Amino acid sequence: MTTPVVGLALGGGGARGMAHIGVLKVLEKHNIPIHCIAGTSIGALVGSGYALHPDAKQFHARITEFIKSPQFQKAGLSRFTRKEPAENFFGQVAKYVKQRIVINLAHSKLSVVSSERLYKIISFTLENRNIEQSQIPLAVVASDLISGEAKTFTRGSIRKAVLASASIPGFLPPVTYNGHYLVDGAVTAPIPVEAVRELGANIVIAVDVGQDMLATEHATRNIVDLIFRTNSITAGSLRNQLLEKADFVIRPEVGNIHWADFSEFDRLVELGEAACEAVVEKIADAYKQRRSLVYRLTHREN
């Protein structure tokens, strides 16, 4: 029996990932130690910020400051939201391309927008440091377009790794880094459970902020929606397989919130808090029991 090592696996989901902050705040409040963190996409951004400076309230304040800043407004994410109740990120990208860009652009470019906007967000949120300098051991997960496998970064530039991890295919261009051609970690590891296990975690808390899988009338109203609805089903199946490998799963009720709707920031944090409060006692009990058992085994009389 080994010493309990609590690891957080923070999944991707755009703005919905702000719920991760609420989870961190509750774990801190209940004095549950976090020994390592793995993040995908928005989970990589939040996880990296916390790993550098493990203070959930301070991180919450910093993100609040940024979301209210002119720099964030200039990022233009709000243009990708729409009034319909259904969410289809890829449908929004297709609509944006159709309305704003000559259709032939799709044949000559790799993304709708440049990576500069995302990098500004990352630079504001994260210091220019290496992953190995974080106070909590950290893994950032991206997807290698060439090998088709997940690429886990535990060393090197935090900003560059997070940029790769959050580069949504078609929306942002692939990132070339350390000889790899990388896109969003959610393609191969929407919930980075395996990455946090590799860091040594034996009590894994997975936080799922993915989109609701229940289809609506908008999910199959045209060819583009149909194509990406089937893609969502495949991604959802992978997500569920990974979640089965976690010891605890926290699912904030954020699946119906648009990936780009940061106007719901305060509510997202609160939903993360509520979801974590619902299971935090079980997590605390599991940690205490394992720690107590290890103590008894290592101090028993020979």
* Alpha carbon distance 251, 274 (integer Å): 10
pLDDT at 227 over 70: no
Write out pLDDT tens, residues 153-182.
Answer: 999 999 999 999 999 887 788 999 988 999
Partner residues linked to 170 by β-bridges: 111
Residue with tokens 């991180």: 59
* Alpha carbon distance 174, 168 (integer Å): 8
Q: Which residue has the higher pLDDT, 87 or 206?
A: 206
| Confidence tier at 258 by pLDDT (50, 70, 90) | confident
Q: What is the mean pLDDT of residues 288-297?
A: 78
pLDDT score, position 56: 97
Residues annotated as catalytic are 41, 184
pLDDT score, position 111: 55
pLDDT score, position 140: 98
pLDDT score, position 238: 87
One-letter identity of residue 37: I
Which residues, 6 or more positions from 184, have their beta carbon under 8 angstroms from its beta carbon?
12, 40, 41, 142, 143, 165, 166, 167, 168, 169
Which residues, 6 or more positions from 244, have their beta carbon under 8 angstroms from its beta carbon?
none
* 22-26, 107-111, 280-284, 294-298: range with lowest mean pLDDT: 107-111
pLDDT score, position 84: 43
Q: Which tokens belong to 82?
A: 């729409």
Q: What is the mean pLDDT of residues 23-31?
A: 97
* Alpha carbon distance 74, 195 (integer Å): 34
Taking residue 53's Cβ as centre, other Cβ atoms within 10 Å add up to: 15
Q: Which residue has the higher pLDDT, 83 or 191?
A: 191
* Alpha carbon distance 116, 165 (integer Å): 15
pLDDT at 17 over 60: yes
Write out pLDDT tens, residues 76-127.
Answer: 665 555 444 344 444 555 555 555 544 444 444 555 566 777 888 899 889 9
Q: What is the mean pLDDT of residues 198-223?
A: 77
Q: Which tokens belong to 192?
A: 């980075």
pLDDT at 222 over 90: no
Write out pLDDT tens, residues 29-74.
Answer: 999 999 999 999 999 999 999 999 999 999 999 999 888 887 777 6
pLDDT score, position 81: 58
pLDDT at 220 over 70: no
In this structure, what are the phi and psi dihedrals at residue 175, rounded to the nearest 5 degrees? -110, 125
pLDDT score, position 95: 55
Q: What is the mean pLDDT of residues 18-39?
A: 97
